[in-house]
Structure 1
Amino acid sequence: MKWNDDRGFGFIEPATGTEEVFVHVSAFPRDGIRPRIGEFVSFEIDLREDGKKRAVRIMRPGKNNNTVRRATRDVPSATSRSGALTTILGLLTLIAVGWYGYASFASKKMAPAEPMLPATRALPASTPSFNCDGRTRCSQMTSCAEATYFLKQCPGTQMDGDGDGEPCESQWCGASWSD
């Protein structure tokens, strides 16, 4: 193997004695060991777009080339540690908000309730819901209250024959007919 450490590439001579194959430092295992001249390695050949051969997936004989890769996966990186910390803080925040919400709900539910007053409906004042619709005679009325309303509010009524302010005395508002 020929290697230019300053430029990060070199050439590998295959065991079959064919022409040398280009190799870049990125093809070596990331185990921290720099390529060395004369070092024996095994590799695969990749044909580039320009038709030239390139050595890829280089392995050093007698070494488990996956050991370093597995070891680096098992050691948490700063990024994964901060991601785990963020996840834990997020979960703690969610738990705190949930607990506060539950405690707030439970305290309202457990607190003695204010006595509820029975629902009452406002009754209209004694003002009847009559309106002047052109009726003018006692025979057209249905109650003393209606006759009284018509006499006081509507013009042209003929319901107070004796002029005492009490309408329809013989039909609705007399002593025996009072509401």
Structure 2
Amino acid sequence: MNFKGRLVRWNEERGFGFIKSDSVDEDIFIHISALKNMNRRPVVGDLIYFELAADKNGRKKAVRASIEGVVANVSSPGRRQSFMGSKVFIYVLFAGLVVSGYVIQASSFHFGDLFSTRLNSEPVFQTQPAERNNVNFKCEGKQYCRQMTSCDEALFYLRHCPDVKIDGDGDGIPCESQHC
């Protein structure tokens, strides 16, 4: 049900006031949020149209209010924000498409080169001749990659020494993640 009354007190800093109505016994609390979309803030003496509701303590308060003679804004702030949100969304979407297109382009170029140059060519790893730099190494009981100092030493141990644990995948390439 709609009521009307005069704004008798208004606290501008805190955004609330009180309405005196002939239809209601006591002054009715009104918060600025009840006057959404008004072109101006209320002033004492304004005629206010409102609906009544109870706050959490059971006191009467004005809701869905308007000021007589003041036209409400045509576009609501929520609508403007939605429009701005949609603009931002479009820019973000466009940027995402550009970045993903670049990533796909770059990765297909990289993998395309990899496959086209490697399929019909020799293996990437070419083993060194067995006797290269063997003069500097001796079987001294080393078993693990962390004990080796170079790829040449690891190759020597793999080919010439017993009980080494330096070729985990058995492909003939020792210490792949450290030295070779």
Q: Larger C-alpha radius of gyration, 1 or 2?
A: 1
More strand by share: 2
TM-score, length basis structure 2: 0.48
Greater relative contact order (CA < 8 Å, ≥ 6 in sequence): 2
Which TM-score applies when normalising by structure 1?
0.48
